Amino acid sequence: RCGFVAIVGRPNVGKSTLMNRILGQKVSITSRRPQTTRHQVMGIKTEDETQFIYVDTPGMHIQSRDRNKAINRFMNQAATQALRDIDCVVFLVDRTRWTEEDDVVLDKLTHVRAPVILAVNKVDWLKDKSTLLPWLESLQAKREFAAILPISAKHGTNVPELEAEVAQYL
Ligand code: GDP
Ligand code: MG
């Protein structure tokens, strides 16, 4: 078995951190500065009979009104192309906050037929964990997600569970 998994989300949600955590090595640049990754970064993980090809997808947050700048146009195209022939999408958002940029990413996933798993990242930063569950439930209204999982890419919390979920769709 072999499949492509796209990691998408607005800048700074932890896409590169998640990819590095899954692959167990620093293949993707992580930074506090948004848009550090301008090109697609790929990594392959082989586990038993399954080969996961992870794609860190930049540019998903770029709105159509920003399309005129050459760099934006380039990133927009790369993002759209990355979603072709994808078997599964991991859509990353930040704990307890849904932004306009998250909506832009969600819009770009409208015509994606592959299952979309919503991963709510950085839950290690949550002071009050009791707010998490109601918030996760509220996100079910955004789209029919294959699953919604709270994770911490930095600490690895729930990341194996996320990988197991992904494996179902390859
Ligand atoms: P990207 O722009 O989506 O690729 O985000 P990065 O992976 O570069 O991460 C942006 C920032 O968030 C970095 O400073 C990371 O260390 C931090 N970060 C990523 N995941 C987590 C997490 O699970 N918990 C915490 N506390 N910080 C995180
Ligand atoms: Mg990145």
> Is pLDDT of 70 > 90?
no
Q: Are 153 and 21 in contact (CB under 8 A)?
A: yes
CA-closest residue to ligand 1 atom 10: 12
> Quick one: which atom of ligand 1 is closest to the CA of 37?
4
Q: Which residues of 60-93 are buried (b: 16+ CB within 10 A; e: fewer)?
A: bbbeeeeeeeeebeebbebbeebbeebbbbbbbb
Query: Which of 13-22, 72-81, 89-98, 114-123 bottoms out in mean pLDDT, i.e. has the lowest?
Result: 72-81
Over residues 21-38, mean pLDDT: 65
pTM: 0.90
Mean pLDDT of 149-160: 97
Rounded Cα gap, residues 119 and 163, in angstroms: 11
Q: What is the mean pLDDT of the chain?
A: 86
Q: Which residues participate in the annotated binding site?
A: 9-16, 56-60, 121-124
Range of the domain at 35: 2-167
Q: Which residue has the higher pLDDT, 66 or 28?
A: 66
Which of ligand 1's atoms lies nearest the C-alpha of 19? 7
Angle formed by the axes of helices 15-23 and 159-167, to 10°? 80
The number of domains in the chain is 1
Phi then psi for residue 124, to 5 deg, are -60, -20
> In this structure, what CATH number is given to the domain that contains residue 51?
3.40.50.300
Which residues have CB under 6 Å of ligand 1? 9, 11-17, 30-32, 37, 121-122, 124-125, 152-154
From ligand 1's centre to the CA of 30, what distance in Å?
7
Closest protein CA for atom 17 of ligand 1: 14
pLDDT, mean of residues 66-91:
78
Q: What are phi and psi of 70, to 5 degrees?
A: -55, -45
- Mean pLDDT for the stretch of residues 59-80: 73
Q: Are strands 88-94 and 50-56 parallel, antiparallel or unpaired?
A: unpaired
